[in-house]
């Protein structure tokens, strides 16, 4: 049976119904921000495929939301912050009718999915004008890995504004990782991380744009400091998406390490224990948390992070965003009940060893001044040009790309359609194999990635996922030909 969202529920929401009644975010028009720790981190409203199909409408619109600074306008899908959580299986046929009720063009990108880059699939060159609709359709390959993915607008010229304004949602692909008994035994919780501007109509210019805009209100599934709970002895599986346009999230859970089980493109070979987890915009991770402490309250913290050397900025407080000097509690973990202690999985899934590359390329990331444009961000000395193909590759080839950041700011480099593996950082081999589609380059760093252009021909892009940098030029066009 096809699942279809009627228009009525979200119109009702805009008209003032409670957002939580729609099973979604707390920041609805009539909703109050609940006090710290009293909300439970309910999942965003969830749309699950059935019978091999997922069919839905997404209305991109402005919605009034409550923030600590008072009512503000946010950009939403279907009136929800974040947008509905989409859950699909390999082989599913997906149809999304996008309706643009915004004053500027928009479109949809399926960040991390391995689907065709053309037609009405993951086509970022397609633009849906104000008042227009477009019907997206694609079939997820039958061998698509399970994982945590992300949909968001990607119309060049409006993408940073629209993601900063609130548009985005999580997309889960179910599969082999979910069937591993020790993983399946874990309680699952999604965490869609998004910063929102505190005040109405704020649109920083100049320096703010150059650094990448950060909002002061830190939300998890659209809520401020919700509660997560797990049984003592149990396992909690967190699926985490950084849905911010520029903010990095550096997470630590008091007295609990994270056991990383999946990165952007799906499962690792075995869990990796981490004291903290840094996610650049667009990055995802899945971690297990063990309920191995005494009952109590443990804060999930966002730790301060500085995005780059900042020499050029003269200490303008680049990074952690307005006012964040110390750790901020973004959610609170409590224990409820107990179970016989559950083991961590020992092995997860094989991660393919890619063959030797048939070709090597180099991409140098920097900033500079362009006549008439002011400050721009550059890849190999050039700002984005929609009429130029920067990189031509052949279907089936494995390539190794050397990415070099010679600038003064962090740049998370992202590639569409085909995931990659990080081979080395500053000459040092990566400690474990993992599928990624965003890799962070700090100032002065050189990272080598390896990728294979599988299954699909067509044009797509790579870019910095600080979306203000992407808008200011840090993007190139990739063409895959047979
Ligand atoms: Cu989330 Cu072009 O990316
Ligand atoms: Cu993407
Ligand atoms: Cu950048």
Residues 192-221 have pLDDT tens digits of 999 998 765 555 445 567 889 999 899 999
CB atoms < 10 A from the CB of 287, how many? 24
Residue 357: pLDDT above 80? yes
More confident residue, 203 or 357: 357
| Strand ranges for 281-327 from DSSP E | 284-290, 297-302
Q: What is the pLDDT of residues 120-175, one digit of tens each?
A: 999 999 999 999 999 999 999 999 999 999 999 999 999 999 999 999 999 999 99
Proximal ligand: closest to the CA of 283: 1
CA-to-CA distance for 145 and 179, rounded, in angstroms? 12
- Given a contact cutoff of 8 angstroms between Cβ atoms, the answer to whether 366 and 422 are in contact is no
Residue 310: pLDDT above 70? no
Compute, in angstroms, the gap from residue 167 CA to the centroid of ligand 3.
20
pLDDT for res 104: 97
pLDDT for res 318: 52
Nearest CA to ligand 1 atom 3: 111
Residue 461: pLDDT above 80? yes
CA distances from 373 to 208, 376, 378 (A): 16, 7, 12
CA-to-CA distance for 192 and 439, rounded, in angstroms? 19
Cis? peptide before 445, omega within 30° of 0: no
pLDDT for res 30: 30
pLDDT for res 41: 63
- Strand (E) or helix (H) holding 176: helix 176-179
Residue 311: pLDDT above 50? no
* Residues 6 or more apart in contact with residue 105 via CB below 8 angstroms: 127, 128, 129, 130, 155, 157, 158
Find tokens 């915004």 and name the residue: 102
- Atom index in ligand 1 nearest the CA of residue 152 equals 1
- Given a contact cutoff of 8 angstroms between Cβ atoms, the answer to whether 481 and 395 are in contact is yes
Compute, in angstroms, the gap from residue 144 CA to the centroid of ligand 1.
19
pTM across the whole model: 0.90
- Atom index in ligand 1 nearest the CA of residue 461 equals 2
pLDDT for res 67: 72
Compute, in angstroms, the gap from residue 154 CA to the centroid of ligand 3.
16
Proximal ligand: closest to the CA of 413: 3
Compute, in angstroms, the gap from residue 334 CA to the centroid of ligand 1.
34
Compute, in angstroms, the gap from residue 3 CA to the centroid of ligand 3.
38
- Atom index in ligand 1 nearest the CA of residue 112 equals 1
Q: Using 50, 70 and 90 to split pLDDT, how confident is the model at 25?
A: very low
Closest CA to 156 of 480, 479, 478, 468: 468
More confident residue, 64 or 33: 64
- Atom index in ligand 1 nearest the CA of residue 462 equals 2
CB atoms < 10 A from the CB of 326, how many? 9
* Residues 6 or more apart in contact with residue 18 via CB below 8 angstroms: 28, 30, 31
Average pLDDT in the chain:
88
Residue 415: pLDDT above 90? yes
CA-to-CA distance for 251 and 113, rounded, in angstroms? 25
Share of the chain above pLDDT 90, in %: 79
List ligand 1's pocket residues with C-beta within 6 A. Answer: 109, 111, 152, 154, 282, 414, 416, 461, 463, 465
More confident residue, 387 or 372: 387
Residue 13: pLDDT above 50? no
More confident residue, 30 or 150: 150
Share of the chain above pLDDT 70, in %: 85
pLDDT for res 72: 80
Closest CA to 123 of 461, 397, 420: 461
Residue 263: pLDDT above 70? yes
Compute, in angstroms, the gap from residue 465 CA to the centroid of ligand 2.
8
pLDDT for res 11: 22
- Atom index in ligand 1 nearest the CA of residue 416 equals 2
Find tokens 């950082």 and name the residue: 425
């Amino acid at each position: 049976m096809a699942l279809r969202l009627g228009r009525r529920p979200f119109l009702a929401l805009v008209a003032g119904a409670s957002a939580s009644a729609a099973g979604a975010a707390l920041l609805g028009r009539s909703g109050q921000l609940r006090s710290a720790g009293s909300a439970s981190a309910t999942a965003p409203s969830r749309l699950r495929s059935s019978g091999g199909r997922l069919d839905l409408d997404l209305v991109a619109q402005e919605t009034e939301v409550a923030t600590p600074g008072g009512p503000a306008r946010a950009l939403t899908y279907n009136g929800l912050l974040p947008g509905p959580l989409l859950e699909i299986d390999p082989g599913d046929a997906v149809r999304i009718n996008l309706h643009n009720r915004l004053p500027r063009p928009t479109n949809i990108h399926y960040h991390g999915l391995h689907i065709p880059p053309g037609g009405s699939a993951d086509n970022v060159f397609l633009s849906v004008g104000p008042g227009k609709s477009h019907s997206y359709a694609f079939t997820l390959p039958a061998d698509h890995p399970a994982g945590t993915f992300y949909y968001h607008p990607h119309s060049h010229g409006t993408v940073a504004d629209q993601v900063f304004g609130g548009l985005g949602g999580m997309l889960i692909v179910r599969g082999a990782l979910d069937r591993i008994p020790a993983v399946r035994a874990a309680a699952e919780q999604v965490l869609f991380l998004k910063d929102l501007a505190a005040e109405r109509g704020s649109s920083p210019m100049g320096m703010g744009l150059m650094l990448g805009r950060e909002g002061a209100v830190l939300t998890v599934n659209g809520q401020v400091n919700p509660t997560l709970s797990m049984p003592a002895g149990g396992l909690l599986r967190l699926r985490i998406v950084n849905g911010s346009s520029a903010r990095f999230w550096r997470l630590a859970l008091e007295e609990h390490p994270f056991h990383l089980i999946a990165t952007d493109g799906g499962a690792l070979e075995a869990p990796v224990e981490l004291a903290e987890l840094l996610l650049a915009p667009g990055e995802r991770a899945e971690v297990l948390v063990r309920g191995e402490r005494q009952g109590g309250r443990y804060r999930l913290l966002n730790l301060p992070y500085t995005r780059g050397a900042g020499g050029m900025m003269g200490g303008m407080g680049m990074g952690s965003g307005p006012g964040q000097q110390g750790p901020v509690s973004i959610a609170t973990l409590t224990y409820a009940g107990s179970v016989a202690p559950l083991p961590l999985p020992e092995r997860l899934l094989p991660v393919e060893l890619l063959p030797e590359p048939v070709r090597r390329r180099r991409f140098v990331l920097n900033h500079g001044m362009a006549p008439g444009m002011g400050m721009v961000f550059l890849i190999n000395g050039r700002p984005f040009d929609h009429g130029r193909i920067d990189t031509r590759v052949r279907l089936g080839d494995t390539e190794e790309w050397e990415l070099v950041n010679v600038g003064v700011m962090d740049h998370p480099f992202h590639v569409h359609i085909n995931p990659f593996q990080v081979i080395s950082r500053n000459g040092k081999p990566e400690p474990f194999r993992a599928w990624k589609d965003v890799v962070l380059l700090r100032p002065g760093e050189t990272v080598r990635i390896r990728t294979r252009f599988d299954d699909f021909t067509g044009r797509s892009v790579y870019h910095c996922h600080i979306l203000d940098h992407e808008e200011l030029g840090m993007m190139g066009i990739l063409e895959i030909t047979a």
